[in-house]
Structure 1
Amino acid sequence: MSNHTHVVLCVDKDMADGWSMKEVVRRWHQLYQGTLLSQKYQRGDTLSKGELISLEETVTIYRQRLYDISWLMRNLNEHIARVANKEDGCTGRFWEGRFKSQALLDESAVLACMAYVDLNPIRAKMETTPETSKHTSIQHRIQALIKGEQPKNLMRFVGNHKQDIPKGIAYSLIDYCELVDCTGRCIREDKAGYIEQHHSPILARLGLDSEQWLTLTTEFEQHFSTAVGSEHMLQQFKQHTDHRRIRGMAKARVLLQHA
């Protein structure tokens, strides 16, 4: 968008914990120069026992930062700010404030948030169709789908729920693209839309109806704050994080009651 960005993230701590020291250093050096020790290690030079102990402590910090949302947003926002300031020929603060994040607690929340983000340009009347919406994941997914592929840099749709399903989003990519497309048409017509049954296999499996879905994909940020999910998942999140109250509990009861 012209004045803000939305990113839907999957934080895979288990995968990061499984990386070797060599893999952590390799990934970190894609972003930063690292230290003299990490550079020496990556070159394949021999390190003393003391140097290895010191590097292991450093790699522990690197590993944590590589799956930390704050560090990701720091890198992303700094890059965008530098490019924008260079284009505008100015200096100084670019972003209004620190980023906001919401925990997506179940599949309904994830897919609704993805659709909300993918349809941002259409709601803002910047674009008329998902496939022409620049800088969106839905555009990349549609372009890849035409070739019978999926984008390598996005979380894959791996088909419907089944045993031994590979890691990814447990729904059909073509179902999701069709759902976003018909949702965009409802939004673009600026009236209370209706999603036809043959366009909503995902909604049926999520236990959401057309009205719930359209509310979620047009008013997502208005109703939730810290976390998004069913009332049951929000209660669990509340206990886990020791929050006294979670905004959006009432809306979750209405919009995600069957999820």
Structure 2
Amino acid sequence: MARARNRQVSLEVTPYYHCTSRCVRRAFLCGEDAYTGESYEHRRQWVEDRLLELASVFTIDICAYAVMSNHLHVVLHVDTQLGESLSDREVCERWHQLYKGTLLTQRYLNGEALNRAQMDAVSDKLDDWRSQLQSISWFMRALNEPIARRANAEDGCKGRFWEGRFTSQALLDEKALLACMAYVDLNPIRAKMADKPENSDHTSIQRRINSLKKNKAQPEPLAPFIGSLPQDEHSGIPFELGDYLELVDWTGRVMRADKRGYVEQSLPPILQRLSMSNDRWLELAQSFEDKTSNLAGCHQVTKLAAQILGYQRVPAIAQNRRYFG
């Protein structure tokens, strides 16, 4: 039985989540349908463009993403500090980039005079929007609904395009975050859609590599790697970008049979710092969703998260101990 969303997503537990949406129809989200011979490859750009647009509106960072043939992966970080620091006007402007809002909020943005009762109504609405701009459920809704409508219009049909709802995994510690990001970035290689990370179209790893080639800067739509900088002062992924790219490149080569003997001769130092063996890492990088539950992390943080979320028992104890310690 599916768990209620408030028992899967809690910012008190972790701000990092891995979300997946899958098509319900036989027709593909993207790629080429071998049965009909029709290509839907252009839809991958729809999804990527929408993802990056939402990253500039919501106070939610995109750590990693991959748009596949009949599903998509995205690793998200909810930036509550930014969300609470926005002014009322900034909240209203962000929301109106996606939705029409109300007549009163439109008048508020236009600088029209409002009486006290009208301002109270606007304030109540802005409080709701501030919360929703920090909501993963609203983020995925704003991503999936326009894509579904556009695909249905193109296919000339009605009905569901996505499965009932997206799935989410709470990433409870740095090991889980890193492993899940690599798993997402390497999805096209595992599916034999690409031979190396820089050739993995419509993925965050390709966008990061292309940005480095152009100007040696991290792409703004994606959450930056901040290394050892304090998280309370800087929002981002707590690793060095160079270390992560080296790790993904190494992992991608190992996943190709013709490279296995060569790359295993040298382990990326980041695995040593995380105290993860190459075998455990490769299992996660190739099958993260299969090897973990909806709470992924070491046993201590998983136990605490289960208590906060009201679980009767701690899920996936053996798996989390095996992979995360």
* TM superposition score category, shorter chain reference: over 0.9
For the 8 Å contact 1:224–1:247, the answer to whether it is kept is no
Correspondence for 2:246: 178
**Structure 1 164/51 Cα, relative in aligned 2: closer, same or farther at 3 Å?**
closer
For the 8 Å contact 2:223–2:237, the answer to whether it is kept is yes
Work out which of the residue numbers 68, 76, 80 in structure 1 matches 2:147. Answer: 80
Deviation of 1:198 after TM superposition, in Å, equals: 5.2
Correspondence for 2:319: 251
Deviation of 1:241 after TM superposition, in Å, equals: 1.1
Correspondence for 2:295: 227
Tell me which amino acid in the other structure corresponds to 2:324.
L
Separation of aligned partners in 2, 1:254 and 1:194: 26
Tell me which amino acid in the other structure corresponds to 1:206.
L
Correspondence for 1:93: 160
Correspondence for 1:50: 117
Give a deviation string over 1:14-34, Cα, whole Å, max 9, x none. Answer: 321221110110110011000
Q: How does 1:1-259 map to 2 (within 5 A)?
A: 1-146=68-213, 147-160=215-228, 166-189=234-257, 196=264, 199-257=267-325
Separation of aligned partners in 2, 1:34 and 1:192: 54
Scaled by the length of structure 1, the TM-score of the pair is 0.92
Give a deviation string over 1:159-209, Cα, whole Å, max 9, x none. Answer: 345798732112211211111011011112289778557551221221212
Separation of aligned partners in 1, 2:294 and 2:316: 9
Tell me which amino acid in the other structure corresponds to 1:78.
E
Higher helix share: 1
Give SS of 1:101's match: strand
Scaled by the length of structure 2, the TM-score of the pair is 0.74
- Aligned pair count reads 257
Tell me which amino acid in the other structure corresponds to 1:64.
S
Separation of aligned partners in 1, 2:233 and 2:262: 32
Give a deviation string over 1:108-155, Cα, whole Å, max 9, x none. Answer: 111111000001111111111111111110000111112211010001
For the 8 Å contact 2:250–2:268, the answer to whether it is kept is no
For the 8 Å contact 2:189–2:195, the answer to whether it is kept is yes
**Aligned residues with identical type, % of pairs:** 51
For the 8 Å contact 1:178–1:199, the answer to whether it is kept is no
**Structure 1 36/165 Cα, relative in aligned 2: closer, same or farther at 3 Å?**
closer
Tell me which amino acid in the other structure corresponds to 2:119.
L
Higher strand share: 2
For the 8 Å contact 1:195–1:210, the answer to whether it is kept is no
**Structure 1 162/16 Cα, relative in aligned 2: closer, same or farther at 3 Å?**
closer
Give a deviation string over 1:1-60, Cα, whole Å, max 9, x none. Answer: 011111100012232122111011011001100001100011111211111111111111
Which has the higher mean CA deviation after the structures are superposed, 104-113 or 75-84?
A: 75-84
Deviation of 1:84 after TM superposition, in Å, equals: 2.0
Which has the higher mean CA deviation after the structures are superposed, 84-93 or 71-80?
A: 84-93
Unmatched runs of 5 consecutive residues or more in structure 1:
none
Unmatched runs of 5 consecutive residues or more in structure 2:
1-67
For the 8 Å contact 1:158–1:172, the answer to whether it is kept is yes
For the 8 Å contact 1:123–1:218, the answer to whether it is kept is yes
Tell me which amino acid in the other structure corresponds to 1:131.
E
Give a deviation string over 1:35-94, Cα, whole Å, max 9, x none. Answer: 011000111112111111111111111111111111111111112212222332322210
For the 8 Å contact 1:113–1:217, the answer to whether it is kept is yes
